[in-house]
Structure 1
Amino acid sequence: MADDDNDDNSCPLHKCIFNGDIRKLSQLLRTNDPSAKDKHGNTPLHLSVMLGRKEFTHLLLAHGAIVKMKNLAGWSPLAEAISYGDRQTICSLLQKLKSQAREQMELRRPNLIRALEQMGDFYMELKWDFQSWVPLVSRILPSDVCKIHKSGCSIRLDTTLVDFSDMRWERGDISFIFRGDKSPKESLTVLDNEYQCYQRVRYEESELDIEDEVDILMSSDILTAQMSTKSINFVRAQSGWIFREDKKETVAGLYDCDSYCINGLILESRKRREHLSRDDVQKNKAIMESLTKGGGQSPNTDQNGEIVRRASLLPPPDRKVTWEEYINSEPGEYPKLGRKIVYKESSKAFRATVAMSRDFPLNVEMLLNVLEIIAPFKHFAKLREFVKMKLPNGFPVKIDIPIVPTVSAKITFQKFEFLDNISPDLFEIPANFTEDSMRFPDL
């Protein structure tokens, strides 16, 4: 019982929210961490959202409560807000999540730029080959060679693959330019070389962008997917039929590599849909089928293309759970506070491979600095996530990793050279290009 009392006393903010005491919460926030977790991994923000206490939610956000925190079940306050279904709360959390992400990036920005300046200037080619275990899908997946120039604290990436997710992709002749010497609002620009226009990558989303995103969140499954590396291990790949030996290969005709198989790599995905009606589920299925065929409408438009905003759901029933019942339950097994969860989880084991070279002139930390700049690409984010793992010695010049459950990518660093005379014009917007702020709506 002493432990229970200790739990009770160590979570004063959580208790205030349960008891509906906003005056005491306001006082305690002066001296207590607004993002402290209780035994269930819930922050005060989790509880205020799940209990539908909107005033408490706004007060916590005003005191800097972290939106990205996950509880023991792996769900964030935003996920719980979508489940509860109050549109204003979802909007507030989404805005705060994005502003906190910008703040984090700004804190890291000086170190990132310093690291870029300390690197030698270079030119690099990165080849992407997408594959799938689904036969018909595999035949139509794209490939791409990204060309990367780096000079000082500036980076230019040229690509023909604008966007890629599962079975949808967009082709083009696109260049991303990052200028570390510019202000954050002007540092990242995307050029469409075919249409001779450019767009500043938005530093802050407009109110319309946020409202659109809220519509999509409210009408879609709540998804979380992560690559589990808990039981991962690297095993030297073998060659030969009778006399087995460690496999070696030469990548791009330049780099002698040791080849490894990566065992224990599992993609865990979970989804919830208690906030969706049967009609929503059918509609989403039809939209996804249409999108995979290269068309379809956005989930927040009607047949005439008019925007239809999602309304808040009716609140879930009050479960009448007391603070004592909540805090004295086993970790992660507290009584349900909101809607009855409609939940499905799946996991898929992947066999990944990597070829490590000791001769490659870049190191992994330098690569991470470059990849962090090229943030708008989802597949680059996956590569960065992989490279952050504890890899064997050397540099990963060829990697075969899963990108989404049905698609994997073979990534090859096929060319690299240090250069002293990269033209500064590469990092400038051509004079004949015009600005088009809506050329790439998702950026």
Structure 2
Amino acid sequence: MLASCSGRKGPEGRYPLHYLVWHNRARDLDRELSAKQADIEQLDPRGRTPLHLATTLGHLECARVLLKHGADVGKENRSGWTVLQEAVSTRDLELVQLVLRYRDYQRAVKRLAGIPILLEKLRKAQDFYVEMKWEFTSWVPLVSKICPSDTYKVWKSGQNLRVDTTLLGFDHMTWQRGNRSFVFRGQDTSAVVMEIDHDRRVVYSETLALASHDQEVLLAAVQPTEEQVMGRLTAPVVTTQLDTKNIAFERNKSGILGWRSEKTEMVNGYEAKVYGASNVELITRTRTEHLSDQHKGKSKGSKTPLQSFLGIAEQHVGPNNGVSAPGGPP
């Protein structure tokens, strides 16, 4: 029986939780975490938390123990994959359902915990009304036509806030439009959040109050359906990031050849220098090891027209991504 790994040498002493996860010793892991002597978010040499390792190896009971003790589902490993993405890649429906449930639970707790702070800031802030107009353009031909633009209208009165918008999202190369209002109504220790769909005349309302939700109630409320889980298990795992390690900045020029000068623009009454950034890559990485041949076939050629037009780099990652070979601890 293992009471503590702190006095032991080797991986068992340096990475006690990872060691127990590697050997799938869920009961010993529970005892070690109950003693509160080990760091539940410690990173191993491959940049993985114990929860990352448990999901990568498909050790369901170890993952259950770590989540019960508060392991952070939102962490990314050194390769940029989340706990949920690693769980999906195991093809284990129950593991994906468990991780998805705790991810949504932790998000809800963080959101509810911020309500008192937000209410206090709203109390102190002056009432106002403001319109924020914004639009994106591009020097790439035709791209400006699909870039979004909108005017946000924001009202603040006491502890109440309202935002009106017409830009709802992006789907199949088209920006989705509608007429929506988002209303935040602050109360003494809680708040009501409403989404008003003016086109359909429908109101979605939710009361946010940390005191009225214990862990079991919240966990029950965020239980994912089997359909939601299967939707993830039948779709590629995709992550997108900006690679700026080779980024370079240089002053933009204006004028005709031979009479060119460094470009400036007026911003809020100030003369501002204009710089250009180059060598920035948008990299999309895709994992499909959890997909059946049928679903892999569907995912091929699913690159969006925008990705193809802009030449976005895409990397396909093999099934052994970030997993050390069996036969020894991490």
Distance in 2, matches of 1:53 and 1:319, equals 15
8 Å contact 2:192–2:207 — kept in the other structure?
no
Change (3 A) 1:41 1:319: closer
Shift in Å, 1:105: 2.4
State the secondary structure of the residue aligned to 2:130: strand
Shift in Å, 1:131: 5.0
Shift in Å, 1:89: 0.8
Matches within 5 A, 1:394-409: none
* Alignment counterpart, residue 10 of structure 1, candidates 5, 11, 14: 14
Change (3 A) 1:197 1:51: closer
Q: Name the aligned partner's letter for residue 258 of structure 1.
A: A
8 Å contact 2:184–2:193 — kept in the other structure?
yes
8 Å contact 1:37–1:43 — kept in the other structure?
yes
Distance in 1, matches of 2:201 and 2:271, equals 41
> Is 1:75 the counterpart of 2:89 in the alignment?
no
Residues 116-135 of structure 1 show CA distances to partners (whole Å, capped at 9, x for unaligned) of 33333222222343557875
8 Å contact 1:176–1:190 — kept in the other structure?
yes
Residues 164-216 of structure 1 show CA distances to partners (whole Å, capped at 9, x for unaligned) of 256243222111112233765x5221112233331125877956754343222
Aligned to 1:322: 327
Aligned to 1:28: 32
Shift in Å, 1:321: 1.1
User: RMSD of the alignment, in Å?
Assistant: 3.6
Distance in 1, matches of 2:58 and 2:46, equals 18
> Is 1:258 the counterpart of 2:262 in the alignment?
no
Change (3 A) 1:8 1:77: same
Shift in Å, 1:72: 1.5
Q: Name the aligned partner's letter for residue 58 of structure 2.
A: G
8 Å contact 1:173–1:194 — kept in the other structure?
yes
> Is 1:52 the counterpart of 2:58 in the alignment?
yes
Give TM-score, length-normalised by structure 2.
0.73
* Alignment counterpart, residue 261 of structure 2, candidates 228, 244, 249: 244
> Is 1:162 the counterpart of 2:168 in the alignment?
yes
Shift in Å, 1:101: 1.5
8 Å contact 1:190–1:201 — kept in the other structure?
no
Greater relative contact order (CA < 8 Å, ≥ 6 in sequence): 1
Give TM-score, length-normalised by structure 1.
0.56
Aligned to 2:159: 153
Indicate the percent of aligned positions where both proteins have the same amino acid.
33
Aligned to 1:179: 185
8 Å contact 2:11–2:19 — kept in the other structure?
no
Distance in 2, matches of 1:161 and 1:120, equals 27
8 Å contact 1:78–1:93 — kept in the other structure?
yes
Matches within 5 A, 1:364-443: none
> Is 1:218 the counterpart of 2:233 in the alignment?
yes
8 Å contact 1:16–1:24 — kept in the other structure?
yes
Unaligned segments of structure 2, at least 5 residues: 1-8, 209-217, 305-322
Matches within 5 A, 1:187-206: 187-200=192-205
Distance in 2, matches of 1:234 and 1:127, equals 28
Change (3 A) 1:280 1:138: farther
Change (3 A) 1:103 1:172: same
Moved more, 129-138 or 270-279: 129-138
Distance in 1, matches of 2:281 and 2:21, equals 37
Aligned to 1:394: none
8 Å contact 2:194–2:204 — kept in the other structure?
yes
Change (3 A) 1:165 1:6: farther
8 Å contact 1:94–1:210 — kept in the other structure?
no
Number of equivalent positions: 292
Q: Name the aligned partner's letter for residue 226 of structure 1.
A: Q
Change (3 A) 1:233 1:67: same
Unaligned segments of structure 1, at least 5 residues: 290-317, 328-443
Aligned to 1:96: 102
